[in-house]
Amino acid sequence: MNAFLKACLTAVFGFALAMQANAAEPIKIGSVLSVTGPAAFLGDPELKTLRLYIEKINKEGGVLGRPLELVHYDDGSDANNANSFGKRLIESDKVDFLIGGTTTGATMSMAPLADRAGIPFISLAGGVVIVEPVKKWLFKTPHTDRMAAERVFQHMKKQGLTNIALLSETSGFGQSGKKESEAAAAKMGITLVANETYGPKDTDMSPQLTKIRGTAGVQALFVFGLGQGPAIVNKNAKMLGLKMPIYHAHGVASEEFIKLSEGAAEGVRLPAAALLVAAKLPDSDPQKPVALGYAKAYSERYKEDISTFGGHAYDALMILVGAIKRANGVDKAKVRDEIEQTKGFIGADGTFTMSPTDHLGLDLSAFRMLEVKNNDWALID
């Protein structure tokens, strides 16, 4: 009996070993995203996009003949969690690459880990601090807050609007936006004659708007926030009969924003990636096929509207896969160098050309200025 058992065990073991040797070892991509919590509306489509495209790539034979494996943790929109999950990914899951950090806070809390372990890390967060100053192992795909502010001010100046009111959210996104807007305004000759804030969970912004309306010389309003706050600002502004043009930041670029504003979004302007208006782009636009392809794949699979945030994840994954292919292996230093060499990659967020001094690789042209017309987005610039 004993001998029989031993034989059985050996057989099972041998079989298991053989199986493992047969299948190519997967390339492990670790990710920490904010799938729950306040930043969930960013992290949720990001994770869905990663899953969708990793599945797709694996079905088509993987990368260099090896399947991709996603090891994912949800930080619940808390940067402290991101740090401990980052440690777990590197030390116990032994991932090859990192994608993620939905928020700037989460990214910065994981950045030192990636740096110490020497792991290429592509962030999906907006903050400028991620790529300025350049960190050896850290890259990112979303446009920065500064670019959004600069793009908006560029458009305002064209319209002759130079005295403006800034209304920013007290969330991390809004605060970073406030800082960048203040810096960009000084540089671009825009004067902030009023500078107000509101809380991310606030339900009424009419006091702030009343104050802005009462400030002399305000020509336009720039709202820097995300989620439902900016939609409430639209509704309050309409109720108060605020006549000045309203600009929003890129954080609210989703169909949901128009829906939530219930008609009050009419005429508001914002900078956004081409993804949002893919179908409206001229056929000559090189981004059109990429954006349309992504939009189709995502909405077919998940039966929900696309947001630009999922596009950040698409770009990060594709840049990484491209770099692995060019490096012809998963050697971390080589892949890092190849990510830095990314040139003319047309993604959902724009055309990426990275360099040793630019770990983002997008310029202002990546942002299209949109205006809400008849409850839909229209390209205006």
**Residues of this chain that bind another protein (CB under 8 A):** 36, 38, 40-41, 44, 170, 196-199, 201-204, 206-208, 210-211, 214, 227-228, 231-232, 235, 238-241, 256, 259-260, 262-264
Tokens representing residue 3 in the block: 């001998």
Least distance in Å: CB of 317 to another protein? 23
Please say which residue, 133 or 241, places its beta carbon nearer to another protein. Answer: 241
- Cα distance between residue 41 and residue 282, in whole Å: 29
Least distance in Å: CB of 208 to another protein? 5
HSE at residue 213, side-chain half, CA atoms within 13 A, is 14
Least distance in Å: CB of 53 to another protein? 22
DSSP-derived letter for residue 277 is: G
Please say which residue, 231 or 295, places its beta carbon nearer to another protein. Answer: 231
Give every CB contact of residue 357 below 8 A, 6+ residues apart in sequence.
Answer: 134
Please say which residue, 36 or 341, places its beta carbon nearer to another protein. Answer: 36
Q: Are 110 and 32 in contact (CB under 8 A)?
A: yes
Least distance in Å: CB of 249 to another protein? 17
Q: Is the peptide bond before 230 cis (omega within 30 degrees of 0)?
A: no
Least distance in Å: CB of 302 to another protein? 12
According to DSSP H, which parts of the chain are helical? 2-22, 40-59, 79-91, 104-117, 145-158, 172-188, 206-214, 229-240, 255-261, 287-302, 308-327, 332-340
Tokens representing residue 198 in the block: 């509101």
Least distance in Å: CB of 229 to another protein? 10
* Strand order through the sheet with 138-140: 68-74, 27-33, 97-100, 121-123, 138-140
What are the residues facing 71 on neighbouring strands?
Answer: 30
* Strand order through the sheet with 163-169: 191-198, 163-169, 220-224, 246-248, 269-272, 368-373, 376-379
Least distance in Å: CB of 226 to another protein? 11
- Cα distance between residue 337 and residue 316, in whole Å: 15
Least distance in Å: CB of 191 to another protein? 19
3-state class (DSSP) for residue 363: coil
Give every CB contact of residue 370 below 8 A, 6+ residues apart in sequence.
Answer: 253, 269, 270, 271, 272, 276, 277, 377, 378, 379, 380
